[in-house]
A and B are shown apart, each in its own frame.
Chain A
Amino acid sequence: MKSLRLFVALLALAVAASAQVSSERLLKAADDPGNWLTYSGSYDSQRHSKLDQINRENVKDLQLKWVFHTESLEKFQSTPLVVDGVMYVTQPPNDIFALDAKTGRKFWSYEHIYPDKVNVCCGRVNRGLAILDETLFMGTIDGRLLALDAKTGAVSWDVTVVDYTGGYSLTMAPLIVKDKVIIGTAGGEYGIRGFIEAYDAKTGKKLWRFYTIPGPGEPGNETWEGDSWKRGGGSAWLTGSYDPELDLVYWGIGNPSPDWNGDVRKGDNLYSDSVIALDPDDGKLKWHFQFTPHDLWDWDSVQVPVLVDREFKGKQRKLMLWGNRNGFFYVLDRATGEFLLGKAFAHQNWAKGLDENGRPIRIPGMGPSREGTKVYPSVQGATNWYSPTYSGRTGLFYLSVWESYPSDFRKGDPSYTRGNRYVGSLPQGIYPDVVKDEEPGYGAVRALDPETGEMEWEFKMAEVSESGLMSTDGDVLFSGSIEGQFVALDVFTGELRWRVNLGSRMTNSPITYMVDGKQQVAVGSGHSLFVFGLRD
């Protein structure tokens, strides 16, 4: 009898666990902090969790709960999803594992077969999945979009978004808006013409495509000389954000092609290095803001748009906060795209500053040259794709910073052959491990005040960081380093509260969730995922 009751109780639990991730549930993801339902945790992409069991005082008591080892030597850049006790994580490039979020034990896995040769600039990577109802969605490095049953891993549809042999690949976690799956393409080093597309989540039918590089007759095409727009780049390789009230999706767009020689693409090169606001129903452009017109340094503006409602200069506003690869921090009005504030957050030597419209005032002679031009920030940027976080409890914006890393930008002659690099000449990075005659810079987590762009505090690291950030209502900020140190910082002061050496480079962003009423923190290091919780 007792066992029957237990069985019924377990059945009830199982039924609860099968509740669907409806689009309404996605809208309220921030109020459902026991789960991690989207790439950035919620549509505003603040990567802030309302969980507070783990706080500044007890974070020192975290202990390892379980580890998941991938069987891939590719870079592990995936952010897991957690849905009602099940964790979904990708193993690079495109295998999927469904794990018990409490123990790490596998429910099922999906193996993706892909071609031997896939041209991706920076590793065969994947950054995660999206979920709607009981279906998972994944873009693949060979240009496909897959829908899979979240309970079994069975593929329900598999469409070719784009021909990968042209240098295209899908590396981002898709974004679900209403009944649509939205995804963009990587390939900015291969002379692609970038786009963002929406698919019907049920059928895989393509609903719209927005070209990030406008064609003839479209506004913005005049910012490209001749037919340079055809190979203009403008990739999208990180997940965008969504404002349900304004009903706008926001997406960061990558560099123009060829990267380091702008002679063949004179003009501002819209919408490269821009944020675009699209109507999710038809893909129509509502506004755009370009951070680096006519980019010559490969400063993709793919960063995740962070949406914040708060007071700014005495007025309640709907803001967008943006730490850009070009070294400047921006505050925009996300209803209109109006530029409100901009300030350098790291050493840079290419612009005198920003004008009243947020356009950089360029210093002449800082583009790539035949003999090499030393420019700060480096080709990697003052920050890059590593997710920032915003805490409403402090009102501060936090980001990973590469301070004082230059590159030697060389100019070469670009020539296009389909599927191969179309870049000009690759910059020579000055990395900490190959420093010959330069003092190395350093990596840091920095806290910025959006009202002023001023730095409130920084946590310095011996080496740079490729880790995203996550903050919580426990007033803890989690981050990592390429040294493999997983750190917990005080959101108010940046003080180190706890750390553990996970042994290898951290190239994704931490997440947090609950199992059995207990808060867990998960983070990748090297080729493995580590999950921590408080001592039982």
Chain B
Amino acid sequence: MRGWIVLACAAALAVPVGAQTGHGVVVNSFTSPEDVAAGSRIFRSHCASCHGIDGSGAKGPDLTPGVYRHGSEDLDLYNTISLGIPGSEMSGIFFEGKQLWQIVAFVRSVAARSDGGQVTGDPARGATLAGGKGGCLQCHMAGGEGGRMGPSLNDIGAARSPNHLKAAILEPGDQVLPIHWTVKAKTKKGEAVSGRRLNEDTFSVQLLDSNDRLVSLAKSDLESYEIVKKSSMPSYKGVLSDSEVDDIVAYLVSLRRRGAVR
């Protein structure tokens, strides 16, 4: 209940300084380059350790896709920044009105710099390509089907912009987050085990092996153990036509878990 009152107050605060459209949507009116610069300074002091100086994410989520789990409207961002996210490490801050809107403006600017892009392809054709010529589903799960060696794409539309997805298909890069590292191990009994590294601690490693088995290995049972930190995803430049890539992007953008995004 207390939370609702605060939310109501924050919304009440927002209205005088934001422009209200006919649809009842509160829009940030502090969006000048000066506002963005001011927002950037506050962001560096309050947000950058988790979201990165450029908003590209570190310990906290990447803000550049322009799609946010706790709401993507200006007022959603305002409230999220003001109140924080309960149960997470993100606390609210004491700024109100103008300065909060300037942070919103800066967050919008990093999303704009990443140039989210538009969907131009056909999602149905994209779905067919993902399962066929593209070969995406050999490694990735999408729409509940596919392989398990790559990250699941089941909710990718909620986390990545069209341009980000396009770049990831054409130039995947070889750097991957630790959750996508792979493991090559050999047990003292001579058995070779490899797969996706799901978890690891001082004494053990958990992986999804190449036969889709969930395997937990005690390090004391291993003769050798290697972590492969490179991505094994190939580039699709020249493999798929421009329009085929656009179709796959359209399909991926459509993949959103119901209820995940407001």
Contact = CB atoms under 8 A, between A and B. Distances in A.
B102 to A, nearest CB: 12
Interface stretch (B13-21, B65-73, B195-203, B234-242): B195-203
Interface stretch (A102-110, A336-344, A455-463): A455-463
A432 interface: yes
Interface stretch (A199-207, A219-227, A265-273, A408-416): A408-416
Contacts of B83: 116-117
Interface residues of B, number: 32
Interface stretch (A48-56, A433-441, A515-523): A433-441
A421 interface: yes
Given A116-B6, A420-B46, A485 B41 contact: no
A117 B6 contact: yes
Interface stretch (A144-152, A282-290, A423-431): A423-431
A428 B93 contact: no
Name the residue among B2, B44, B175 with the largest chain A CB count within 10 angstroms. B44
Contacts of B3: 116
A423 B45 contact: yes
A216 interface: no
Contacts of B53: 410, 425-426, 428
Contacts of A460: 202
Contacts of B92: 117, 119
A433 B178 contact: yes
Nearest to B57: A434
A499 B202 CA distance: 11
- Secondary structure of the A contact surface, majority rule: loop
Contacts of B2: 116
A73 interface: yes
A463 B49 CA distance: 20
Interface string B122-135: 00000000000000
B203 A436 contact: no
Interface string A452-475: 000000001111000000000000
Given A116-B6, A410-B53, A429-B49, A499 B203 contact: yes
B100 to A, nearest CB: 11
B44 A426 contact: yes
Interface string A461-496: 111000000000000000001011100000000000
Given A460-B202, A463-B201, A499-B203, A429 B58 contact: yes
Given A433-B59, A437-B175, A483-B201, A421 B87 contact: no
Contacts of A501: 201
B6 A431 contact: no
B191 interface: no
B85 to A, nearest CB: 11
A244 interface: no
Contacts of B59: 429, 431, 433-434
A73 B179 CA distance: 24
Interface string B21-42: 0000000000000000000010
B75 interface: no
Contacts of B179: 433
Interface in B45-89: 45-49, 52-53, 58-59, 83, 86-87, 89
B44 A123 contact: no
Interface residues of A, number: 44
A481 B200 CA distance: 13
Nearest to B175: A436
Name the residue among A437, A462, A501 with the largest chain B CB count within 10 angstroms. A462
Interface in B122-169: none
Interface string A115-128: 01101100110000
A73 B52 CA distance: 24
B58 A434 contact: yes
A412 B49 CA distance: 13
A425 B47 CA distance: 9
Nearest to B2: A116
B49 A428 contact: yes
B91 interface: yes
A119 B59 CA distance: 20
A417 interface: yes
Contacts of B94: 117, 119, 165, 417-420
A119 B175 contact: no
B202 A412 contact: no
A461 B219 CA distance: 12
B95 A425 contact: no
A240 to B, nearest CB: 27
Given A412-B45, A422-B45, A485 B201 contact: yes
B39 to A, nearest CB: 13
Contact of A412 (B41, B52, B200): B41
A260 to B, nearest CB: 9
A422 B89 CA distance: 19
A116 B5 CA distance: 10
Interface string B167-188: 0000000010111000000000
Contact of A481 (B46, B89, B202): B202
Interface string A486-516: 0000000000000101000000000000000
A431 B203 contact: no
Contacts of A432: 178
A420 B95 contact: yes
Contact of A119 (B52, B91, B201, B203): B91
B201 A426 contact: no
Contacts of A485: 201-203
Interface in A142-198: 165
Given A379-B49, A414-B45, A425-B48, 4 more contacts: A120-B91, A426-B45, A435-B178, A437-B175
26 contacts: A116-B83, A117-B92, A410-B44, A410-B53, A412-B45, A417-B94, A417-B95, A420-B46, A420-B93, A421-B45, A421-B46, A421-B93, A422-B45, A424-B45, A425-B45, A427-B49, A429-B49, A429-B59, A433-B177, A433-B178, A433-B179, A434-B178, A462-B200, A463-B201, A483-B201, A485-B202
Interface of A: 73, 116-117, 119-120, 123-124, 165, 379, 410, 412-415, 417-429, 431-437, 460-463, 481, 483-485, 499, 501
Interface of B: 2-3, 6, 41, 44-49, 52-53, 58-59, 83, 86-87, 89, 91-95, 99, 175, 177-179, 200-203
